[in-house]
Amino acid sequence: MPSYQAPLRDMRFCLYDVFGGDELATLPGWEDFTRDLIDPVLDEAAKLCEEVLHPLNRSGDEEGCAWKEGEVTTPKGFKEAYTLFKDGGWTSIACDPAYGGQGMPAAVNILVEEMICSSNLSFGMYPGLSHGAYVSLAAHGSDELKAAYMPKLVDGTWSGTMCLTEPHCGTDLGLLRTAAIPQEDGSYAITGTKIFISAGEHDLTENILHLVLAKIPGGPKGVKGISLFLVPKFLPDAAGNPGERNAVACGSIEHKMGIKASATCVMNFDGAKGWLIGEPHKGLRAMFAMMNTERLAVGVQGLGIGEASRQNAVIYAKERIQMRSLSGVKAPDKAADPIIVHPDVRRMLLTQKAYMEGCRALAVWVAKALDVSKKHPDPEVRKENDDFVSLMTPIVKALMTDLGSEVANIGVQVFGGHGYIREHGQEQYVRDARIAQIYEGTNGVQSLDLVGRKMPEGAGRLLRRFFHPVSEYVAAKVEDETMGEFVQPLAKAFVRLQQATGQIARTALGRPDEAGAASVDYLRLFGLTALAYLWCLEVEVAKAKIDAGEGDIFYEGKIATARFFMERLLPDTGARFSAIMAGGKSMMTFPDEAF
């Protein structure tokens, strides 16, 4: 059976030591969010995830959800776990206190989300989708809608969904057909079918609030004619409690590769009563408030799954004995040496560690910038941090889910044949991780977003939020005797990133396919460069701790892991750069008939 222990020390190292989490308490309204408050929250989250959610992960996968006559039943133990989760206030942790939330900073919430994803991703989907609905409703809903629905969404009594995809259209939302007919009472009658709706139907909450994209007749064609509506499963009565059943039903649930305890539903709307969120024909803007939140959260799903796989791979590698070390016997009292002595196993374990700890730093970095963008008193500082979050969102989503999936697969490889069978749980991590590269915009779409929207925005304004601090850091540290071995590889990768950016900018104007052909490699090049910068920051902190006499194996391990990343993983930026500079001719001129 797999195990999980929340990596609290590394979480606190990232939050406090690397990114100055204590500064959160200096932002207006967050004076109480000091370590004395944050640390117990992280401790309690770890306890909940380790003792309540993780034990349900495998059983939930094996049982899955059940559909019968439009009703969905979650696996055994999920309803009780959700009640504990809700009653403990975990649904409200990052929500506005005006609606009963705790108002916790994103930099703290993202660590809690990681623990939930590591321990039970399927379970985490239910409150995760609800939080996305909360974000969209909070940003664009009318005062009446927020007063009627937000408190119960925040306290977890009701849950939420995001209904975008239809059978004939996914990414291209301009093709959607769901219709919204205006009614005399100011509501709309919503008719259409949505597919792949996570948490669309379940037995965990009293009511489910569907956020539905639909078109009002007579509106503009394409994405400019999309509006967003709130469609509850049950219409609230005069007292605000679930009343009459709305004309929305779950037609079936999908039989999936992974996250089997998360209900993925076909939802049929048959003249269901709904209310407009935001302005008519501006639904995509309102939905993107939710989608950007979800994309950061999905990136953390990759981190969470990868971390869980990594932990179990380390345990197995220390216990499993096979053959003798190439350099001589290491465990003479045993019939063979533990496989952790073998170079290839060490390569795999270090790859997992370097990627996942780097991604954790990336998540905290972006989350803290999100906090500053919302709370800092200086509008210019808020804008700069908002630009940075916008730039890094597709990178967080795509890089962290790609690496999380890769790390989960490495975990199976460490286990060998035992990883391929169900007994040890490693194969579930591979299956669960795979969807994160697909939903909330495939990683190919994230790459196109990076090169097609984020790169040119404001004549490169967003890019400067990353390029300037990294450039300044390299200039200041590249000749430093204690940091040179780490900063010099970063400097080489950064030069490649700058040159690739220029190449794409030059070719994209006249040949847009060139930017598309380069996009996936460019995002990986950008992401690896970002991780290299973050590993340099972590090394600086670790070295300072050691120099101050506070050193232990944790800090020594940080330095050694950073060295492995720079020597063995960062060189991939060279291959990505070469692919980008080769251009897209070899793929775009290939005859369709020859595939």
CA atoms of 175 and 191, how far apart (whole Å): 15
Residues near 541 by beta carbon (within 8 Å), at least 6 away in sequence: 13, 17, 18, 558
Q: Which of 56, 203, 206 is nearest to 122 (CA)?
A: 56
Check: CB of residue 75 under 8 Å from CB of residue 126: no
Check: CB of residue 378 under 8 Å from CB of residue 555: no
Q: Which of 144, 130, 142 is nearest to 101 (CA)?
A: 130
Measured CA distances, 459 to 274, 379, 387, 456, 463 (Å): 40, 21, 13, 5, 9
In three-state secondary structure terms, 13 is: helix
Q: Which of 476, 391, 366 is nearest to 106 (CA)?
A: 366
CA atoms of 256 and 294, how far apart (whole Å): 20
Q: Which of 291, 299, 257, 272 is nearest to 194 (CA)?
A: 272
Q: How many CA atoms lie within 13 A of 167 on its CB side?
A: 7
CA atoms of 515 and 586, how far apart (whole Å): 14
Beta strand ranges found along 167-222 (DSSP E): 179-182, 188-198, 207-215
Q: Quick one: DSSP state of residue 332? A: T
- Residue 300: burial class (beta carbons within 10 Å; 0-12, 13-18, 19+): buried
Q: Which of 145, 176, 144 is nearest to 160 (CA)?
A: 145
Measured CA distances, 166 to 250, 256, 529 (Å): 14, 17, 37
Measured CA distances, 542 to 16, 111, 201, 505 (Å): 13, 21, 47, 38
DSSP β-bridge partners for residue 215: 179, 226
User: Which amino acid appears at position 565 of this protein?
Assistant: F
CA atoms of 506 and 510, how far apart (whole Å): 8
CA atoms of 395 and 523, how far apart (whole Å): 6
The answer to whether residue 440 is catalytic is: yes
Q: Which of 315, 291, 253 is nearest to 439 (CA)?
A: 291
Measured CA distances, 390 to 107, 395, 462 (Å): 16, 10, 8
User: Which amino acid appears at position 509 of this protein?
Assistant: L
Token readout for 375 is: 């709370």
Catalytic residue among 440, 514, 538, 540: 440
Catalytic residues, by residue number, are 440
